[in-house]
Amino acid sequence: LKIPKFKRIPKHIAIIPDGNRRWAVDNGLEKYEGYQYGINPGLEAFDLCTKLGVEEFTFFGFTQDNAKRPKEQVVEFTKACIASVEALSKKNADLVIVGKSDSDVFPKELLPYTKRTKFGNGKTRVNFLVNYGWQWDLNYGYERTNENGNMISNIASNDIPRVDLVIRWGGRYRLSGILPIQTVYSDLYVIDEMWPAFKPEHIYEALEWYQTQDVTLGG
Amino acid sequence: LKIPKFKRIPKHIAIIPDGNRRWAVDNGLEKYEGYQYGINPGLEAFDLCTKLGVEEFTFFGFTQDNAKRPKEQVVEFTKACIASVEALSKKNADLVIVGKSDSDVFPKELLPYTKRTKFGNGKTRVNFLVNYGWQWDLNYGYERTNENGNMISNIASNDIPRVDLVIRWGGRYRLSGILPIQTVYSDLYVIDEMWPAFKPEHIYEALEWYQTQDVTLGG
């Protein structure tokens, strides 16, 4: 497959991989069985973004709210997160996992990566949100504005910069609490297909659209 | 015009009235001349939402970032905000203006409404964002989480509840900093036409779409 050329590539893409459960049901499986089919799409999307020159890649693993779902679903999406990081460790990535790690639902296997870790040449920055919560993020730490009115924040995701483009699979036009501070000016592109049905063309489509958008950052 | 029936009406709609300047240029006017054509659409949208049973209506007036635009634009969108509130005062509304009011760009005429004010029977709650800034909002006041991990926040917009549906005119798929806390789970519906080209059908279209969406609130 030939990778198209783009005029303007977002520096930072965030992925909302929604639709695993709907895909499973549509394919005659139990809801919880969908998550394992979401692992390869994430790795493919990462490889593609790296090739395209995207510098930073954020992946919405699971949230504190998601962790309240039926046990067998929680088990499966947790396993999918662990398997994804394992596969990522064989690639070129600079990984950090952001999420509430002092919690039973946070997988022990991923604890080392709550500190940034380079794999290979560490080319692409990856922010993997695991047991993430927007309230937890915003409340993590805090200092008031300085005398110039600038926010000096200690949000948990402080190390993650502004997101240029959010690509969401599964047809919903919402951010669902992904990095509320970093996404205030993000463009949202929605793919109707479910995440396990990921195709490289989805990313191309999103990037073709993105390059027609202006960047005003609220101005 | 007959108002259609909907199965499910959002309690709280937020309007992003984008495209005044593009509309002006498309119509052979100067950019700043577009804003005055955005006043009636706002009042029409408000009337329609009231009739439809929407309980709360948030309107993105202008932001602190917008206030850095060329003077003649700032003058015009400020006048449009004042005129809108004047017209609203003859309707049934429970108005509050949320924004940085201790600033030169905040219109003095609107100062009384930084406290909630009932007009007529005060039926529909209206939150009008004037010289609003998401950083200002989040930094307004703050207390840390309580022992249960719940956020006890004194954000400036604390009185404004969760937004169910954001309708944005002007074709951009972004939130542009409108109430980041209240919009984490909002559905975003985008109208390609510019705000001054508002038609009731735009609202109907958004509501038809909205009733096909699920409400998971991140779960």
Nearest to B185 among A69, A177, A190 (CB): A177
* Separation CA A167–CA A204 (nearest Å): 11
Tokens of A24: 């499973």
Task: List all residues 6 or more positions away from A40 whose beta carbon is below 8 Å from its beta carbon.
Answer: A198
Nearest to A219 among B65, B181, B187 (CB): B65
* Separation CA A194–CA A96 (nearest Å): 26
Quick one: pLDDT at residue B89?
Answer: 98
Taking CB atoms and an 8 Å cutoff, what residues of chain A touch B63?
218
Residues B218, A177: C-beta atoms closer than 8 Å: yes
Taking CB atoms and an 8 Å cutoff, what residues of chain A touch B135?
145, 150-151
Residues B66, A189: C-beta atoms closer than 8 Å: no
Burial class (CB in 10 A: 0-12, 13-18, 19+), B31: middle
B212: three-class secondary structure by DSSP: coil
**What proportion of chain A, given as a percentage, has pLDDT over 70?**
94
pLDDT tens for each residue of B21-38: 999 999 999 999 999 999
Residues B218, A188: C-beta atoms closer than 8 Å: no
- Check whether A144 has a pLDDT greater than 50: no
* Separation CA A140–CA B42 (nearest Å): 38
| B-proximal residues of A, 145-204, CB under 8 Å | 145, 149-151, 172-177, 180-181, 183-190
* Separation CA B129–CA B58 (nearest Å): 8
Q: B140 falls in which pLDDT band (50, 70, 90)? A: confident
Identify each DSSP E strand in B35-144 by its residue range: 56-63, 93-98, 117-119, 124-132
pLDDT tens for each residue of A57-108: 999 999 999 999 999 999 999 999 999 999 999 999 999 999 999 999 999 9
Residues A177, B184: C-beta atoms closer than 8 Å: yes
Mutate which of B184, B209, B211, B213 to disrupt the A interface (most A C-beta within 10 Å)? B184
Whether the CB of A205 is below 8 Å from some CB of chain B: the reply is no
Quick one: pLDDT at residue A66?
Answer: 97
Nearest-CA distance from A50 to chain B in Å? 25
* Separation CA A98–CA A113 (nearest Å): 9
* Separation CA A211–CA A90 (nearest Å): 31
User: CA B207: distance to chain centroid?
Assistant: 16
Nearest-CA distance from A126 to chain B in Å? 22
Buried b (16+ CB within 10 A) or exposed e, A12-28: bbbbbbbbbbbbbeeee
Determine the angle formed by the axes of helices A200-210 and A39-52, rounding to 10 degrees. Answer: 50
- Check whether A12 has a pLDDT greater than 60: yes
Taking CB atoms and an 8 Å cutoff, what residues of chain B touch A173?
173, 187-190, 213
- Say how many Å lie between the first and final Cα of chain A, rounded: 39
User: Contact B207/B9 with Cβ under 8 angstroms?
Assistant: yes
User: Contact A77/A35 with Cβ under 8 angstroms?
Assistant: yes
Residues A189, B173: C-beta atoms closer than 8 Å: yes
Task: List all residues 6 or more positions away from A102 whose beta carbon is below 8 Å from its beta carbon.
Answer: none
pLDDT tens for each residue of B42-67: 999 999 999 999 999 999 999 999 99
B44: three-class secondary structure by DSSP: helix
User: Contact B161/B184 with Cβ under 8 angstroms?
Assistant: no
User: Left, alpha or beta for A193 (phi > 0: left; psi -120 to 50: alpha)?
Assistant: beta
Quick one: pLDDT at residue A177?
Answer: 97
* Separation CA A37–CA A172 (nearest Å): 19
* Mean pLDDT calculated for residue range A43-58: 98
Residues A65, B188: C-beta atoms closer than 8 Å: no
Asked which of A31-45, B134-148, B202-216 is least confident by mean pLDDT, the reply is B134-148
* Separation CA B152–CA B143 (nearest Å): 6
Identify each DSSP E strand in A115-169 by its residue range: 117-119, 124-132, 165-169
Nearest to B134 among A66, A175, A184 (CB): A184
Average pLDDT, chain A: 94
B209: three-class secondary structure by DSSP: helix
Tokens of B108: 């003095």
Distances B171 to A138, A164, B83 between C-alpha atoms, Å = 30, 17, 26
